A and B are shown apart, each in its own frame.
Chain A
Amino acid sequence: MAIELKDIEHLAGLARIAVSDNEKKTLQHDLEDILAYVSQISNEGYDIGMPEVGEPRNVMRADDEPHESGMFTEDILAQAPVRDGNRVFVKKIL
């Protein structure tokens, strides 16, 4: 399983993780090792037919009786790294 440095860069970009040049080489080596190991799975011909599927049931909360507005706002905003009044502050996107 050949993983190239540019693959690591691509994956890091997709995962939104800044990776140093040194670490790219370590990751390249580790991922090759791990993928070679887990590739064993590809060598086995599995055929179990149709997977068993359960009956669907509603796991969502019914859309009624909302909690009191603003009850959690302060607790949650207190965790934001940068806030601006009652909102989380982010840099301009466009």
Chain B
Amino acid sequence: MDAKNLTIKQAHELLISKKMSVLELVEAVLKVADGARDLNAYLEIFDDVREQVEVAQKMIDDGRSTMMTGIPIAMKDNILIKGKIASASSKMLENYTATYDAFVTKKLRDAGAVFIGRTNMDEFAMGGSTENSAFGVTKNPHDKTRVPGGSSGGSAAALASGSALGALGTDTGGSIRQPAAFCGVVGLKPTYGSVSRSGIIAMASSLDQAGPFAKTVEDAEIIFDCIKGYDPMDSTSEPAGESPDFVSSDERLGRNPDNLAKKEPKKPKVIGVPTEFVNAKGVDPRVLKNFEESIEKMKKLGYEVKEINLASLKQGLSIYYILMPAEVSSNLARFDGVRYGYHANGANLLDDYMRSRGEGFGGEVRRRILLGTYVLSSGYYDAYYSKAVAAREVIKKTLEVAFRDVDIIATPTTPTPAFRIGEKSSDPLQMYLADIFTVPVNIAGVPAISIPSGFVEEGDALLPLGIQFIAPHFGEDALFATGKDFEKMLGDNNI
């Protein structure tokens, strides 16, 4: 069995036809993970894998299996699994044991998935390289001198190295799509509200969304189908029609629900390309060339390509780096060294707080909390936070208007291929600029997928690139349809 290249779909077929046992599959994957330890993708391989394997095998033997039964999955370290440490790669939560399952964990557990281990990340999901982890950087499997991207870099590297068949990450400004692009795998940021945030360590709650990493678009769809759904424990979870008091966003906004609430997946035909936005300063010419070639290929597949103007998306980064730290400063106020997490003993209670937070949080987290405190403070609130909130509406509107003419919007996922470890770590602003194509998606709350689109040569290494497809709210079906077309055309170069 070639565990490295095995997809979830293939593994599922082997499992239910009894050509392979769950134990054989999991042991093969664990062997690959053991051989890839130097990547530092996993923070911990769980010690109860064998028990999980037995549960999964029983489900299959009893004919109760799902597509995810027996599938070895890697979990980002900010997703709670009851009884396991969830550290968010922070010293603050180094010894924190989750007291309950996240919604997505429960969904996967009920489906019979096998949690292999928890993966490294940028501390509290803040960063684009995993260099901000309190437990060392993760290395890119394609070139170990380079970063895997971030913040879900461990999940991307684990999957790309074959140390799992699928992985979960979280995406606040690109943290699934960017590492997926850097590591040559598929990464999906679902529509805001389609996957519950319950049990996911919060970073910026109006932007955070959990989603899958997978080797193929089809596998990403399988994981997404398993983890999505309404959850009363997340107040922004979208009750997808089944709840009696459900009012869709379109009805709420007085729009014609027929346009968006399309149940039967309509095959996307028109791709919008925001040429001016894509040709932003600092985008690697090789990335642009690869993107243009990809668009040409889509034309050959019969897609109509339309030029669109998304100039206002340029404001995305500014909006993001105001709203996100503002929400971070508020969300991370809960870490006080009193109820759980790192505690440092000071002269009095205030001193306990100051020291616990000063010592427990890493540099980037401290920087963002202070930045958020600044943009929310009296006298600056109007100049920053309220302006960003208003500008966010402009981005939403811009995309809404664009989607009247096109079914899908395409951009490169990242402005460059994976950069070197240490290259940007001393300049936070440079690091932030790498999010230019991914943040507008979170700001608008729409879904987007990154799919491997080829490679660039860099020294001896071939570094993967990704193309990003964006769809309107709840348009994941369109992303999967277009993604599968694109993937099929590229052939087998993406695994």
Contact = CB atoms under 8 A, between A and B. Distances in A.
A91 B348 contact: yes
Interface in B283-335: 315, 317-319, 321-322, 329, 333
Interface in A30-73: 30-31, 33-35, 37-42, 44, 46, 48, 51-52, 54-55, 57-61, 72
Interface string B84-104: 000000000000110100000
Contacts of A79: 96-97, 99, 339-341
A93 B318 contact: no
Contacts of B226: none
Contact of A40 (B318, B349, B366): B318
Contacts of A27: 366-367, 370
A5 interface: no
B343 A82 contact: yes
Contacts of B384: 38, 41-42
Contact of B340 (A34, A51, A81): A81
Contacts of A41: 315, 318-319, 322, 384, 387-388, 391
Interface residues of B, number: 59
A11 B374 contact: yes
A18 B315 contact: no
The dominant DSSP class at the B interface is helix
Contacts of B348: 91-92
Interface of B: 96-97, 99, 232, 235, 245, 247, 249, 252-253, 315, 317-319, 321-322, 329, 333, 336-343, 348-350, 352-355, 357-359, 361, 363, 366-367, 369-371, 373-375, 377, 383-384, 387-388, 390-391, 393-394, 397, 428-429, 432
Contacts, number: 141
Interface of A: 7-8, 11-12, 14-19, 23, 27, 30-31, 33-35, 37-42, 44, 46, 48, 51-52, 54-55, 57-61, 72, 75-76, 78-82, 88, 90-93
26 contacts: A11-B374, A15-B369, A16-B350, A16-B357, A17-B358, A18-B355, A30-B367, A31-B371, A34-B321, A35-B371, A37-B317, A38-B318, A41-B315, A41-B322, A41-B384, A46-B390, A51-B390, A54-B249, A54-B252, A59-B235, A78-B97, A79-B340, A80-B340, A81-B340, A90-B349, A92-B348
Nearest to A7: B374
Given A31-B371, A31-B374, A79-B96, A44 B340 contact: no
A11 B377 CA distance: 9
Given A15-B370, A40-B318, A80-B338, A57 B349 contact: no
A27 B374 CA distance: 12
A17 B387 contact: no
